[in-house]
Structure 1
Amino acid sequence: MRGRKPIPTAMKIALGNPEKRPLNRREPKPVTSIPTCPAHLMPAAKTEWKRIARYLHDLGVISELDRAALAAYCQAYGRWVETEKKLKETPTLLRTPAGYVQPSPWLAISNKNVELMHKFMSELGLSPVSRSWVATTHHIGPKPWEFTGEDEDEFFT
Protein backbone atom coordinates (compact mmCIF):
# COMPACT_ATOMS: atom_id res chain seq x y z
CA MET A 1 0.00 0.00 0.00
CA ARG A 2 1.35 3.43 -0.90
CA GLY A 3 1.23 6.61 1.13
CA ARG A 4 0.35 7.08 4.76
CA LYS A 5 -1.30 4.41 6.82
CA PRO A 6 -5.05 5.00 7.12
CA ILE A 7 -6.24 6.37 10.44
CA PRO A 8 -8.83 4.18 12.19
CA THR A 9 -12.33 5.68 12.34
CA ALA A 10 -12.36 5.84 16.14
CA MET A 11 -9.16 7.85 16.04
CA LYS A 12 -10.54 10.22 13.38
CA ILE A 13 -13.56 10.85 15.58
CA ALA A 14 -11.36 11.44 18.63
CA LEU A 15 -9.27 13.94 16.65
CA GLY A 16 -12.36 15.75 15.39
CA ASN A 17 -12.00 14.42 11.83
CA PRO A 18 -9.35 17.01 10.86
CA GLU A 19 -9.43 16.04 7.16
CA LYS A 20 -13.25 16.39 7.08
CA ARG A 21 -13.56 13.27 4.95
CA PRO A 22 -16.51 10.86 5.25
CA LEU A 23 -16.09 8.40 8.11
CA ASN A 24 -16.15 4.64 7.55
CA ARG A 25 -19.22 3.68 9.55
CA ARG A 26 -18.82 0.04 8.46
CA GLU A 27 -15.31 -0.42 9.87
CA PRO A 28 -15.07 -3.74 11.73
CA LYS A 29 -15.15 -3.47 15.52
CA PRO A 30 -13.91 -6.79 16.94
CA VAL A 31 -14.80 -7.72 20.51
CA THR A 32 -11.88 -7.04 22.83
CA SER A 33 -10.47 -10.15 24.43
CA ILE A 34 -7.12 -11.53 25.51
CA PRO A 35 -5.89 -13.89 22.79
CA THR A 36 -4.41 -17.21 23.85
CA CYS A 37 -0.62 -17.24 24.00
CA PRO A 38 0.86 -19.40 21.22
CA ALA A 39 2.71 -22.45 22.52
CA HIS A 40 5.64 -21.99 20.13
CA LEU A 41 6.84 -18.76 21.78
CA MET A 42 10.16 -18.88 23.62
CA PRO A 43 10.04 -18.48 27.44
CA ALA A 44 11.01 -14.77 27.49
CA ALA A 45 8.34 -14.10 24.83
CA LYS A 46 5.68 -15.85 26.92
CA THR A 47 6.67 -13.75 29.93
CA GLU A 48 6.29 -10.57 27.85
CA TRP A 49 2.91 -11.81 26.56
CA LYS A 50 1.67 -12.27 30.12
CA ARG A 51 3.01 -8.85 31.08
CA ILE A 52 1.30 -6.80 28.36
CA ALA A 53 -1.77 -8.77 27.19
CA ARG A 54 -3.80 -7.78 30.27
CA TYR A 55 -2.89 -4.09 29.89
CA LEU A 56 -3.92 -4.09 26.23
CA HIS A 57 -7.20 -5.79 27.11
CA ASP A 58 -7.92 -3.36 29.94
CA LEU A 59 -7.38 -0.50 27.50
CA GLY A 60 -9.79 -2.15 25.04
CA VAL A 61 -7.29 -2.28 22.17
CA ILE A 62 -6.67 -6.04 21.74
CA SER A 63 -8.75 -8.86 20.29
CA GLU A 64 -8.27 -12.39 18.96
CA LEU A 65 -7.56 -10.82 15.57
CA ASP A 66 -4.39 -9.27 16.98
CA ARG A 67 -2.90 -12.57 18.19
CA ALA A 68 -0.31 -12.87 15.40
CA ALA A 69 0.89 -9.27 15.75
CA LEU A 70 1.22 -9.61 19.52
CA ALA A 71 2.98 -12.98 19.12
CA ALA A 72 5.43 -11.51 16.59
CA TYR A 73 6.19 -8.61 18.94
CA CYS A 74 6.70 -10.94 21.91
CA GLN A 75 8.91 -13.34 19.91
CA ALA A 76 11.07 -10.42 18.72
CA TYR A 77 11.28 -9.32 22.35
CA GLY A 78 12.30 -12.83 23.42
CA ARG A 79 14.99 -13.01 20.74
CA TRP A 80 16.24 -9.57 21.71
CA VAL A 81 16.56 -10.68 25.36
CA GLU A 82 18.42 -13.81 24.25
CA THR A 83 20.88 -11.89 22.05
CA GLU A 84 21.50 -9.29 24.75
CA LYS A 85 22.50 -12.13 27.10
CA LYS A 86 24.92 -13.41 24.43
CA LEU A 87 26.34 -9.90 24.02
CA LYS A 88 27.12 -9.82 27.74
CA GLU A 89 29.09 -13.07 27.37
CA THR A 90 31.05 -12.08 24.24
CA PRO A 91 32.85 -8.91 23.16
CA THR A 92 30.98 -6.46 20.93
CA LEU A 93 33.89 -6.36 18.50
CA LEU A 94 35.59 -9.53 17.24
CA ARG A 95 38.86 -10.10 15.41
CA THR A 96 38.58 -12.27 12.29
CA PRO A 97 41.21 -14.92 11.43
CA ALA A 98 42.58 -12.46 8.86
CA GLY A 99 43.10 -9.87 11.61
CA TYR A 100 40.22 -7.54 10.80
CA VAL A 101 37.92 -6.20 13.52
CA GLN A 102 34.19 -6.60 12.95
CA PRO A 103 31.04 -6.22 15.04
CA SER A 104 29.70 -9.32 16.75
CA PRO A 105 26.94 -11.07 14.79
CA TRP A 106 24.90 -10.95 18.01
CA LEU A 107 24.85 -7.15 17.73
CA ALA A 108 23.21 -7.29 14.28
CA ILE A 109 20.64 -9.83 15.50
CA SER A 110 19.86 -7.68 18.54
CA ASN A 111 19.46 -4.54 16.44
CA LYS A 112 17.17 -6.31 13.95
CA ASN A 113 14.91 -7.52 16.75
CA VAL A 114 14.75 -4.03 18.24
CA GLU A 115 13.60 -2.78 14.81
CA LEU A 116 10.93 -5.48 14.64
CA MET A 117 9.80 -4.71 18.18
CA HIS A 118 9.53 -1.02 17.33
CA LYS A 119 7.30 -1.72 14.31
CA PHE A 120 4.95 -3.94 16.28
CA MET A 121 4.97 -1.57 19.26
CA SER A 122 3.65 1.23 17.04
CA GLU A 123 0.98 -1.06 15.59
CA LEU A 124 -0.18 -2.22 19.02
CA GLY A 125 0.04 1.17 20.78
CA LEU A 126 2.93 0.08 23.03
CA SER A 127 5.03 3.24 22.79
CA PRO A 128 4.33 6.72 24.19
CA VAL A 129 4.11 8.22 20.69
CA SER A 130 1.74 5.58 19.34
CA ARG A 131 -0.44 5.85 22.47
CA SER A 132 -0.81 9.56 21.86
CA TRP A 133 -2.78 8.65 18.70
CA VAL A 134 -5.09 6.17 20.41
CA ALA A 135 -8.38 7.24 21.95
CA THR A 136 -9.96 5.00 24.57
CA THR A 137 -12.64 5.28 27.19
CA HIS A 138 -10.83 2.81 29.44
CA HIS A 139 -8.56 4.00 32.24
CA ILE A 140 -5.98 2.01 34.20
CA GLY A 141 -4.65 3.02 37.59
CA PRO A 142 -5.39 6.12 39.65
CA LYS A 143 -7.21 9.01 38.02
CA PRO A 144 -4.85 11.66 36.68
CA TRP A 145 -4.56 14.87 38.67
CA GLU A 146 -6.88 17.51 37.25
CA PHE A 147 -5.84 21.14 37.26
CA THR A 148 -8.77 23.23 38.52
CA GLY A 149 -7.13 26.62 38.08
CA GLU A 150 -7.33 27.47 41.79
CA ASP A 151 -3.62 26.99 42.54
CA GLU A 152 -2.27 28.42 39.29
CA ASP A 153 0.86 29.94 40.87
CA GLU A 154 1.73 26.62 42.54
CA PHE A 155 1.08 24.66 39.31
CA PHE A 156 3.35 26.79 37.10
CA THR A 157 6.30 27.18 39.53
Structure 2
Amino acid sequence: MGRTAQPAALKLIKGRAPGKDSAGRDVNPGPAFKRIPPQAPSWLSDEARAEWDRVLPGLSRLDLLKPEDRAALAAYCEAWAVFREATETVQRDGLTIEAKQGTLPHPAVGIARAAGRELRAWAAHFGLTPSTEQALARGSENEPDPDNPFN
Protein backbone atom coordinates (compact mmCIF):
# COMPACT_ATOMS: atom_id res chain seq x y z
CA MET A 1 0.00 0.00 0.00
CA GLY A 2 1.22 3.48 -0.80
CA ARG A 3 0.83 6.68 1.12
CA THR A 4 -2.62 8.19 1.50
CA ALA A 5 -3.16 11.24 -0.66
CA GLN A 6 -3.53 14.50 1.24
CA PRO A 7 -6.58 16.68 0.74
CA ALA A 8 -6.06 19.60 -1.64
CA ALA A 9 -6.51 22.09 1.22
CA LEU A 10 -3.53 20.58 3.08
CA LYS A 11 -1.40 20.62 -0.06
CA LEU A 12 -2.27 24.26 -0.70
CA ILE A 13 -1.53 25.30 2.88
CA LYS A 14 1.92 23.76 2.53
CA GLY A 15 2.39 25.17 -0.96
CA ARG A 16 4.92 27.76 -2.03
CA ALA A 17 2.60 29.78 -4.23
CA PRO A 18 -1.15 30.13 -4.75
CA GLY A 19 -2.51 26.97 -6.35
CA LYS A 20 0.82 25.12 -5.95
CA ASP A 21 1.99 22.38 -3.58
CA SER A 22 5.28 22.42 -1.66
CA ALA A 23 7.14 21.24 -4.78
CA GLY A 24 5.59 23.92 -6.99
CA ARG A 25 3.20 21.55 -8.78
CA ASP A 26 -0.36 22.62 -9.61
CA VAL A 27 -2.86 21.32 -7.07
CA ASN A 28 -6.11 19.93 -8.40
CA PRO A 29 -8.67 21.40 -5.98
CA GLY A 30 -10.91 18.37 -6.45
CA PRO A 31 -14.68 18.50 -6.36
CA ALA A 32 -16.27 21.72 -5.19
CA PHE A 33 -17.68 20.45 -1.91
CA LYS A 34 -19.28 23.05 0.28
CA ARG A 35 -16.70 23.57 3.04
CA ILE A 36 -18.83 23.77 6.15
CA PRO A 37 -18.36 21.62 9.23
CA PRO A 38 -20.59 18.60 9.70
CA GLN A 39 -23.08 18.36 12.53
CA ALA A 40 -22.06 15.99 15.32
CA PRO A 41 -24.04 12.75 15.39
CA SER A 42 -26.41 12.56 18.35
CA TRP A 43 -25.15 9.08 19.24
CA LEU A 44 -21.54 10.04 20.00
CA SER A 45 -20.36 9.00 23.44
CA ASP A 46 -19.70 11.85 25.88
CA GLU A 47 -15.92 11.57 25.50
CA ALA A 48 -16.18 11.38 21.69
CA ARG A 49 -18.41 14.46 21.68
CA ALA A 50 -15.87 16.33 23.79
CA GLU A 51 -13.15 15.44 21.26
CA TRP A 52 -15.43 16.50 18.38
CA ASP A 53 -15.95 19.87 20.07
CA ARG A 54 -12.19 20.19 20.67
CA VAL A 55 -10.98 19.52 17.10
CA LEU A 56 -13.85 20.92 15.02
CA PRO A 57 -12.93 24.64 15.35
CA GLY A 58 -9.35 24.15 14.17
CA LEU A 59 -10.30 21.90 11.27
CA SER A 60 -13.04 24.36 10.27
CA ARG A 61 -10.61 27.30 10.27
CA LEU A 62 -8.47 25.41 7.75
CA ASP A 63 -11.50 24.67 5.52
CA LEU A 64 -10.76 20.96 5.77
CA LEU A 65 -14.27 19.79 6.63
CA LYS A 66 -17.43 19.23 4.69
CA PRO A 67 -20.69 17.61 5.78
CA GLU A 68 -19.64 14.37 4.09
CA ASP A 69 -16.73 14.04 6.56
CA ARG A 70 -19.11 13.39 9.43
CA ALA A 71 -18.62 9.61 9.55
CA ALA A 72 -14.82 9.80 9.37
CA LEU A 73 -14.64 12.47 12.06
CA ALA A 74 -17.06 10.49 14.24
CA ALA A 75 -14.87 7.38 13.83
CA TYR A 76 -11.80 9.42 14.87
CA CYS A 77 -13.61 10.78 17.93
CA GLU A 78 -14.92 7.37 19.02
CA ALA A 79 -11.44 5.86 18.56
CA TRP A 80 -10.19 8.57 20.93
CA ALA A 81 -12.91 7.68 23.44
CA VAL A 82 -12.00 3.98 23.36
CA PHE A 83 -8.28 4.78 23.63
CA ARG A 84 -8.87 6.99 26.64
CA GLU A 85 -11.10 4.49 28.45
CA ALA A 86 -8.72 1.58 27.82
CA THR A 87 -5.73 3.66 28.94
CA GLU A 88 -7.51 4.71 32.13
CA THR A 89 -8.43 1.07 32.80
CA VAL A 90 -4.78 0.02 32.47
CA GLN A 91 -3.70 2.87 34.74
CA ARG A 92 -6.25 1.80 37.35
CA ASP A 93 -5.92 -2.01 37.08
CA GLY A 94 -2.34 -2.48 35.88
CA LEU A 95 -0.80 -4.04 32.81
CA THR A 96 -1.50 -7.63 33.83
CA ILE A 97 -4.24 -9.75 35.34
CA GLU A 98 -4.09 -13.03 37.24
CA ALA A 99 -5.94 -15.92 35.61
CA LYS A 100 -5.99 -19.73 35.94
CA GLN A 101 -3.30 -19.81 33.26
CA GLY A 102 -1.08 -17.45 35.25
CA THR A 103 -0.26 -13.80 34.70
CA LEU A 104 -1.69 -12.46 31.45
CA PRO A 105 -1.71 -9.04 29.77
CA HIS A 106 -4.74 -7.02 30.80
CA PRO A 107 -7.28 -7.06 27.92
CA ALA A 108 -7.37 -3.26 28.00
CA VAL A 109 -3.70 -3.18 26.92
CA GLY A 110 -4.61 -4.69 23.53
CA ILE A 111 -7.69 -2.51 23.26
CA ALA A 112 -5.61 0.62 23.91
CA ARG A 113 -3.02 -0.43 21.31
CA ALA A 114 -5.65 -1.14 18.65
CA ALA A 115 -7.52 2.08 19.39
CA GLY A 116 -4.24 4.01 19.29
CA ARG A 117 -3.44 2.65 15.83
CA GLU A 118 -6.94 3.51 14.61
CA LEU A 119 -6.70 6.94 16.21
CA ARG A 120 -3.39 7.72 14.48
CA ALA A 121 -4.78 6.58 11.12
CA TRP A 122 -7.86 8.79 11.39
CA ALA A 123 -5.85 11.70 12.80
CA ALA A 124 -3.55 11.64 9.78
CA HIS A 125 -6.54 12.02 7.46
CA PHE A 126 -7.47 15.27 9.21
CA GLY A 127 -3.95 16.67 9.59
CA LEU A 128 -3.97 16.09 13.36
CA THR A 129 -0.57 14.43 13.70
CA PRO A 130 2.50 16.35 14.91
CA SER A 131 4.29 15.90 11.57
CA THR A 132 1.30 17.29 9.67
CA GLU A 133 1.03 20.15 12.13
CA GLN A 134 4.65 21.09 11.48
CA ALA A 135 4.13 20.86 7.74
CA LEU A 136 1.06 23.09 7.99
CA ALA A 137 2.93 25.62 10.13
CA ARG A 138 5.82 25.74 7.65
CA GLY A 139 3.55 25.98 4.63
CA SER A 140 1.00 28.42 5.93
CA GLU A 141 3.21 31.42 5.23
CA ASN A 142 3.86 30.46 1.59
CA GLU A 143 7.45 31.53 2.16
CA PRO A 144 10.46 29.41 1.26
CA ASP A 145 12.06 27.73 4.27
CA PRO A 146 15.38 29.55 4.86
CA ASP A 147 16.89 26.34 6.26
CA ASN A 148 16.07 24.37 3.12
CA PRO A 149 19.02 24.37 0.67
CA PHE A 150 16.73 23.28 -2.19
CA ASN A 151 14.59 26.48 -2.25
Smaller-chain TM-score bracket: 0.7 to 0.9
| Residues 98-151 of structure 1: CA deviation (Å, up to 9, x unaligned) | 3x22110011101111111100111100012123455558xxxxxxxxxxxxxx
Cα distance, 1:26 vs structure 2: 6.7
Aligned to 1:130: 132
Aligned to 2:79: 76
TM-score by length of 2: 0.74
Alignment of 1:65 with 2:78, yes or no, is no
1:114 to 113, 116, 119: 116
Q: Larger C-alpha radius of gyration, 1 or 2?
A: 1
Are the aligned partners of 2:21 and 2:27 in contact in 1 as well (CA < 8 Å)?
A: no
In the comparison of the two structures, how many residue pairs are matched?
132
Cα distance, 1:70 vs structure 2: 0.7
- Measure, in 2, the Cα distance between the counterparts of 1:26 and 1:41: 31
Aligned partner of residue 37 in structure 2, secondary structure = coil
Cα distance, 1:59 vs structure 2: 1.6
Structure 1 gap ranges (5+): 138-157
Aligned-pair Cα RMSD in Å: 2.5
Are the aligned partners of 1:59 and 1:136 in contact in 2 as well (CA < 8 Å)?
A: no
Are the aligned partners of 2:90 and 2:109 in contact in 1 as well (CA < 8 Å)?
A: yes
Structure 2 gap ranges (5+): 142-151
TM-score by length of 1: 0.72
Q: Percent identity?
A: 24
- Measure, in 2, the Cα distance between the counterparts of 1:54 and 1:6: 23
